[in-house]
Structure 1
Amino acid sequence: MKVVLSLFLMVSLLSFDVKAQDFSDLDKSPMDVTIIRNDDHSPMARVIYSRPKMNGREIFGKLVPYGEVWRTGANEATEIQIYSDMTIGGQTIPAGTYSLYTIPEKTEWTIILNKAQNQWGAYNYDADKDLLRIKAPARKAAAPIEDLSIAFQPIDGGANLLMGWENTYVELPLKNTK
């Protein structure tokens, strides 16, 4: 009986192993996370987003239309978590988790923190839930950015949130209120 059970278990595991190696259905815009920490290593802010690729496409003004609310990535709306109160564009933003939307334009983007969470895309975007809207100049990247990329750059008393894709990037300064 033990031999039959062992043989059955081995065949089952081998069958599972073959299926587990099929990666053809992986998300074409994988999820990523970026985090910045304070000097004491406690978290300052974190962004969770999906990273679409250019794949030879024209992005801004075409795939991502100018003047329309964009989820700032693919799949779910990009999410930013702020671990303690911060100042953004002169406005104090309380610690919390927010959806991060943008409205790209050729020369500047509007960056939006919205109180709604767990949103798919920007289909149910509700401007009444906006906590912050701030303009940031659209800058030319030094080299093409194949995958949408979001990163933090440490600055005195906070961090710049950098968002870039194709040939464009913007930065949003986050300052600790302490």
Structure 2
Amino acid sequence: MKNLIYLLFVVFFSTSTLNAQDFSDIDKSPMDVTIIRNENHSPMARVIYSRPSKNDREIFGSLVPYGEIWRTGANEATEVTIYNDMTVMGQNIPSGTYTLYTIPNKTEWTIILNKKVHVWGTANNYDPDKDLMRIKAPARTAAAPIEEFSMAFQPITNGANLLMGWDNTYVEIPFKNVE
């Protein structure tokens, strides 16, 4: 009898605890990762970022102002890990982990790889003295609206393009293996 009362007590409180769970604090911009592998399946590059949603908002030029540095996603600043030395538009990038910032504009974006990592957003965290590189990439019109900010690698000969898109805009950054 004592065991039965104990079992009923456990079941009652377990069920009421499960029913009382509140998931309203779940991150509104969930974290995601994209990775590209070499032909031998070893990692070439990886990006960890958070995916904000459009939610009927005007994105570029409003939520993400033109001409201002952006963490390229939400929450923690986006991080890129390069597993082997690569080049991006002719600039050498040693293997390592970098923070990826962008400065969106209507017709082109400035892409920045920065040596300061593990930072939240941009306010008081971005240090231009730690920039490894800055390149320009044309802003392109997406074939269809992109609801959540998204990043993906597209394999190319001897490397991969990193695609970043949100709303009606995307940019493409070519990462090439050093030969």
Aligned counterpart, 2:111: 111
SS in 1 for 2:122: coil
Give the AA of the match of 2:26.
L
Shift of the alpha carbon at 1:16?
3.3
Shift of the alpha carbon at 1:3?
4.2
Indicate whether 1:173 and 2:174 are aligned: yes
Aligned counterpart, 1:128: 129
Shift of the alpha carbon at 1:4?
4.8
- Number of aligned positions between the proteins: 177
SS in 1 for 2:14: helix
Shift of the alpha carbon at 1:69?
0.3
TM-score of the pair, normalised by structure 1: 0.93
Shift of the alpha carbon at 1:15?
3.4
Give the AA of the match of 2:97.
T
CA distance in 2, matches of 1:116, 1:8: 52
Cα deviation code 1:40-77 (max 9, x no counterpart): 11111111111111111111111111110000011110
Give the AA of the match of 1:69.
I
CA distance in 2, matches of 1:56, 1:96: 37
Gaps of 5+ in 2: none
CA distance in 1, matches of 2:177, 2:64: 32
What's the % identity of the aligned pairs? 70
Q: CA RMSD in A?
A: 1.4
Cα deviation code 1:129-149 (max 9, x no counterpart): 111111001111111111111
Aligned counterpart, 1:156: 157
SS in 2 for 1:120: coil
Shift of the alpha carbon at 1:83?
1.1
Aligned counterpart, 1:91: 91
Aligned counterpart, 1:46: 46
Give the AA of the match of 1:27.
D
CA distance in 2, matches of 1:76, 1:51: 11
Give the AA of the match of 1:169.
Y
CA distance in 1, matches of 2:7, 2:49: 44
Is the deviation greater in 11-20 or in 78-87? 11-20
- Structure 1 pair 40–120 and aligned structure 2 pair: CA distance change class (3 A): same
Shift of the alpha carbon at 1:14?
2.2
Gaps of 5+ in 1: none
CA distance in 1, matches of 2:133, 2:17: 48
Cα deviation code 1:131-177 (max 9, x no counterpart): 11110011111111111111000000000000011111100000111
